[in-house]
Amino acid sequence: MSSVAYQVMWNRLISVVEEQAQALVRTAFSTSVREAGDLSAGVYNAAGLMLAQAVTGTPGHVNAMADAVAHFIRRIGRENIHEGDVYITNDPWEGTGHLHDITVVTPSFHNGDHVGFFACTAHVVDIGGRGFGADAASVYEEGLYIPIMKFADRGAVNETLIHIVRGNVREPDQVVGDMFALASCNEIGQRRLAEMMDEFGLDDLEGIGDFILDNSRRATEERIAALPQKAASGGMRIDGFDQPIDLKVKIAVEPDKIICDFAGTSPVDKKGINVPLVYTKAYACYALKCAIAPEIPNNAASLAPFEVTAPEGSIVNATHPAPVALRHVIGHMIPDTVFDALDKILPQTVPAEGAGCLCNFQVSLRPVPGRHGQRAEVLTFNSGGAGARPTVDGLNATAFPSGVMTMPIEATEHTGPVVIWSKELRPDSGGAGQFRGGLGQFMEVGATEGHEFDFSAMFDRVDHPARGRQGGADGAPTMIAQDDGTPMRGKGKQFVGTGRRVLLAFPGGAGYGVPEDRDPDLIKRDLARGYISAEAAMHDYGLSAEDVAAVQALVARGESE
């Protein structure tokens, strides 16, 4: 078959898995999947190698899931793979890093022959245990563990598993609904793949699979071969739980691969912020692909030239039974750590540091004793600012590197008796620079009358804000407190009484380049839009008092744009 035909089929496969992902978005019960896109979807050959991934999804899910199907094949056994089967797990070390992610794998058959697999992952709102947060001392406390097993055997759903799940989670309808949604989205992928194979007269995926993998590997290796063959080290200090965490990495560019070694990184933490190696690999590879080969589609071969290692027992290679619920808080910082080293090899390529980890929190709501009301678990995804790039400002309230969307207030309030009193951009939070860092957000969160709640904080950058690059200023740090002035910690479950609110200021991205080199028109634009204050315009950028007054006068007349 011609390379043109194979290229058409490759594009078609990407469309198939994107439809698979969109089916999950439409059918999922959890708001984190429907509204934020916290999911992944992919298609694999019969050997378990990922051929294509959906555009919708997160690097932590899909890059980690790239390794997962091989575990399913090994655990289930090829002799036990049958048409109509569906497999499931939330194993942090053989899935995507923590118990709250459920991965479902479905073998794909065509005309009775096994040709490949579909896989998908989604974050569920609750998996039992202590609930979503950093407070556990081992993975056993963090919730229900589902080993790799059959969710359906030749079409018959495992009702015993369903009963066990329903009996161990706080939101059984949502969690079980998401399990069926995951299985359904794989079925959609299977239908579209069968149509494609019939259309192109394919009996298996071997030909198209070899074309995808060979071309992807060759293209990635060509990009690597064009780089300077150098080595450099990078690092970053972040908040941790009770004490700061040091992330360290050495990157070595070789003729046909890049080696990423996290030796020197802090050891496993006592609390649930540890990262299984599969998740560390996912975000380290993502950072390298963003900088070196962003347009090459993601698959097993385009990821293969990136080798990621970390000492066993370090916080980025935590072994069982370390608590790992908030592995994303550390894992989302890995790209900026990699960029710190890569900037020394490829200057003027990578952005300044950003907020890094998502600004997530979960509220566990309940009626005040003696009152009637609703119990609910409400998880919401929010974002700080992205770091400025070498030629353009950072994005406001944008989740880099996770890529998930910020959840709308209306969708959050619909899931339980939570009230989002305000949510807005945070002026002056983006680090000053020739290119400004992206802005964080302000939020004010409470509950409806007669309810109290536990607030599970999942933040970083409280004590260690995003660092500027090439003379750019740091971004603003995270701040959290109750409305009566009671201070709150950046991580952990904390009680909030009836009538009280939580005030949140999410971090800003750092600036790139010295502020004195910023275009004066851009400074005036930021002032007019409210991104920076008059004081910052004068102090950080040197804008004159006369120019500030002129901009303010235009704003007052409605002529700022």
CA distance 99 to 132: 9
CA distance 250 to 261: 5
CA distance 71 to 545: 64
Are β-strands 418-425 and 441-447 bridged in parallel, bridged antiparallel, or unpaired?
antiparallel
Sign of CA dihedral 29, 34, 36, 38: positive
Mean pLDDT value of segment 59-88: 95
CA distance 383 to 389: 18
CA distance 132 to 123: 11
Note the maximum CA span of the chain. Answer: 79
Other Cβ atoms less than 10 A from the Cβ of 410: the count is 9
List all residues 6 or more positions away from 242 whose beta carbon is below 8 Å from its beta carbon: 270, 271
Q: What pLDDT is recorded for position 561?
A: 54
Other Cβ atoms less than 10 A from the Cβ of 242: the count is 11
CA distance 377 to 373: 13
List all residues 6 or more positions away from 79 whose beta carbon is below 8 Å from its beta carbon: none
Of the candidates 268, 326, 367, 266, the one whose C-alpha atom is nearest the C-alpha of residue 489 is: 326
Q: What pLDDT is recorded for position 346?
A: 97
Report the chain's mean pLDDT, rounded to a whole number: 96
User: Contact, 117 vs 106, CB < 8 A?
Assistant: yes
CA distance 117 to 557: 61
Q: Using 50, 70 and 90 to split pLDDT, how confident is the model at 220?
A: very high
pLDDT tens column, 490-538: 999 999 999 999 999 999 999 999 999 999 999 999 999 999 999 999 9
Other Cβ atoms less than 10 A from the Cβ of 202: the count is 18
**Helix H or strand E segment including 174:** helix 172-200
User: Contact, 207 vs 10, CB < 8 A?
Assistant: no
Mean pLDDT value of segment 240-251: 97
Of the candidates 282, 227, 279, the one whose C-alpha atom is nearest the C-alpha of residue 258 is: 227
Task: Kindly state the tokens that stand for 461.
Answer: 């950058």
| Phi and psi angles of residue 117, each rounded to the nearest 5 degrees, phi first | -145, 150
Of the candidates 185, 238, 219, the one whose C-alpha atom is nearest the C-alpha of residue 465 is: 238
Q: What pLDDT is recorded for position 560?
A: 56
Separate counts of helices (H) and strands (E) for the chain: 15, 19
Mean pLDDT value of segment 325-347: 98
Q: What pLDDT is recorded for position 380?
A: 93
pLDDT tens column, 121-161: 999 999 999 999 999 999 999 999 999 999 999 999 999 99
Q: What pLDDT is recorded for position 407?
A: 87
Q: Using 50, 70 and 90 to split pLDDT, how confident is the model at 557?
A: confident
pLDDT tens column, 381-404: 999 999 999 999 999 999 999 999
User: Contact, 490 vs 462, CB < 8 A?
Assistant: yes
Task: Kindly state the tokens that stand for 124.
Answer: 């569920």
